[in-house]
A = this chain, B = another copy of it.
Amino acid sequence: MPLKKITKDEILRISLDVFRKNGYHHTAMSDLARACNLQKGSFYHYFDSKELLMHAVLQNTLDNLKTNIFPIADSAEPARDRMEQLLKTFSKMMLMNEGGCILGNTTMETAYSIPEFKPTLQAIFDGWIASLKKIYLGKFSEETSQRMAEQTVMEFEGAVMLTKIYGGDRFFRDCYSRVMSRF
């Protein structure tokens, strides 16, 4: 009876965890293979290079957000409820994980020196900001909503950073409270 074959999707999910904790350059293909219970040589059967794998991880993250998180902004519920749901699901999926945030970490580590990941990273920021803006637009002007959406993104990614240094979850709670106090 053969062991269950690993799938590309499982590899993407596991690799996301490893990249988020260790960063892109500090993660070796052997680290990723070990996390998947594969030999290094076997791992290349699924992804031809580390760069292509990371690109797939980021693209997969964007797809998941487009499917499961961003549409929350378009639901028929009141703005306050949509914002609460968006912040909570986004935080759980993207921000409040061991090692921080794949989006923030990868942006800080590679955006300047390695341009390859930038389009996908930007697409994630675009979608996040656009979703927040849609909800703010229920109560605020076009201009104000855009600024508030950007401010919310900046604050939450800053919270990821401070949490890496100080631990706990109070930075996230404070960001959440400040946003919700607007509704």
Which residue numbers of A lie inside 8 Å of B, CB to CB?
21-23, 25-26, 98-100, 104-105, 107-114, 118, 121-122, 125, 147, 150-151, 153-162, 164-166, 171, 174-175, 178
Contacts and interface: CB of A to CB of B under 8 A. Distances in A.
A111 B161 CA distance: 9
* Majority secondary structure, A binding face: helix
Find the residue from A125, A164, A174 having the highest chain B CB count within 10 A.
Answer: A164
Contact of A112 (B98, B112, B113, B121): B98
Number of copies: 2
A86 to B, nearest CB: 17
Closest 5 CB pairs of A and B: A154-B158, A25-B25, A108-B108, A111-B164, A158-B158
A107 to B, nearest CB: 5
